[in-house]
Structure 1
Amino acid sequence: MEKKESQRQTAEAEEKDPKTAGEPSPQTQEQGGQAEKIESETPKPGEELQKKLEETSRELEKQKDLLLRTAAEYDNFRKRTAREKASLYSEATAAAVLEILTVADSLERALEQPDCTAEDMRKGVELVQRQMKSALEKLGVEEMGAQGDPFDPELHNAISHVEDGESGDNTVVKVFQKGYKIGDRVIRHAMVQVAN
């Protein structure tokens, strides 16, 4: 409807002024300029797709970079953890060996004695045994498996059963070999004889 109105106005203007016939009226020129502006401002469908593609490509590159960085950080973490684990193992071993070296030194000194009586030898062995117990205590190692203890399959290894009226059922009657543990972890089960 607006088009018809503007065409009518243009026709009337041509009738009034024959010189301007064929020339667009100022109003028509203004409308044409606005149409050109609107056409230039509205993006073409191909341009929109191109912009979205570029944005998606940039986002993909960011995610790819983040993934590569994360993978590199994880690899470094894994290598560092392996080095620390190896270091901790060697440090723990060194600490254990250091505690036991005093026992080894005492045994060497005992063997260096040229003449000693059986009584002296016994005293030396008792001294070495006390040093060994002390070293194990410093390392957090506890003895387990004493006579009279209730039998526990988690801690004891029953190598024989015996009928014993004096001891209660499932009681350790004799210890053949002591067991050792660190905290809740059993290092060696105690070898015992159990009463039925």
Structure 2
Amino acid sequence: MSKDNQQEQEIFTNAEETGTEEELEQEVLEEEQSEDNELEKLKQEYDELNNRLLRLQADYDNFRRRTMKEREADRKYKSQDLVTELVPVLDNFDRALKVDVEGDAAKGFIDGMKMVYQQFKAALEKEGVEEIKAEGEAFDPHLHQAVMQDNDENYDSNVVIEEMQKGYKLKDRVIRPAMVKVNQ
């Protein structure tokens, strides 16, 4: 019987080992699945963080470009406020120079005023200020402000007949539109 007991014991031990091996295999499989799941989560987290980084870099690049454009515009139009204040001075010069005077002293004074006026206009032109051409040009609501209309057969329709007040631009920006009379 001892031989039988020994065989039974071996069978029982083999059965235990087989059960233990199956359990070990099951544990190893579960561990591998757990590691795979964790690896998949880490990959997703990596992808999310990478996408977030790319979006932040794009936002930063857009911010840099936008601020550079704003700085360029600020530099380009830095003198706009000053020019806006000086445009009425140009108008007053124009009016003063149109007055008829008599006498040599007055003519000498007017000649001096003309030189100052030309120098003043040259300084403004150097900054990018230019007069808006109006008379004889097609009416453009972006450049001209129609204050009167007339029906003159010598001009085409929608053409500026007369300039009432000069308009000015600073580079490509209108400072003041020209006040004009337009043909119907």
Same fold at TM > 0.5: yes
Q: Which secondary structure state, in structure 2, belongs to the residue aligned with residue 42 of structure 1?
A: helix
Superposed CA offset, 1:103-126 (max 9, x none) = x9xxxxxxxxxxxx4334323332
> Which residue pairs with 2:182 in the alignment?
194
Query: Displacement of 1:160 after TM fit?
Result: 0.8
Q: Which secondary structure state, in structure 2, belongs to the residue aligned with residue 43 of structure 1?
A: helix
> Which residue pairs with 1:107 in the alignment?
none
Structure ID, larger Rg = 1
> Which residue pairs with 1:158 in the alignment?
146
The count of aligned residue pairs is: 162
- Unpaired runs of 5+ residues, structure 1, are 1-17, 105-116
> Which residue pairs with 2:6 in the alignment?
23
Q: Which secondary structure state, in structure 2, belongs to the residue aligned with residue 158 of structure 1?
A: strand
Query: Displacement of 1:56 after TM fit?
Result: 6.6
Match status 1:147 vs 2:131: no
> Which residue pairs with 1:33 in the alignment?
17
**What TM-score results when the alignment is normalised by the length of structure 1?**
0.54
Q: Which secondary structure state, in structure 2, belongs to the residue aligned with residue 170 of structure 1?
A: coil
Superposed CA offset, 1:36-85 (max 9, x none) = 2231122389867865775576567654697489669957975x678756
Q: Which secondary structure state, in structure 1, belongs to the residue aligned with residue 157 of structure 2?
A: coil
Q: How far apart, in 1, do the equivalents of 2:145 and 2:62 lie?
A: 42
8 Å contact 1:175–1:190 — kept in the other structure? yes
Moved more, 167-176 or 89-98: 89-98
Superposed CA RMSD: 4.6
**Pick from 112, 118, 121: which aligns with 1:130?**
118
**What TM-score results when the alignment is normalised by the length of structure 2?**
0.56
Aligned 1:29-178 pairs, distance under 5 A: 29-30=13-14, 32-43=16-27, 51=35, 54-55=38-39, 58=42, 62=46, 63=48, 67=52, 74=59, 78=63, 87-88=71-72, 91-92=75-76, 117-178=105-166
8 Å contact 2:134–2:144 — kept in the other structure? no
> Which residue pairs with 2:99 in the alignment?
none
Q: How far apart, in 2, do the equivalents of 1:143 and 1:86 lie?
A: 26
- Unpaired runs of 5+ residues, structure 2, are 84-88, 90-104
Q: State the one-letter code of the partner of 1:157.
A: Q
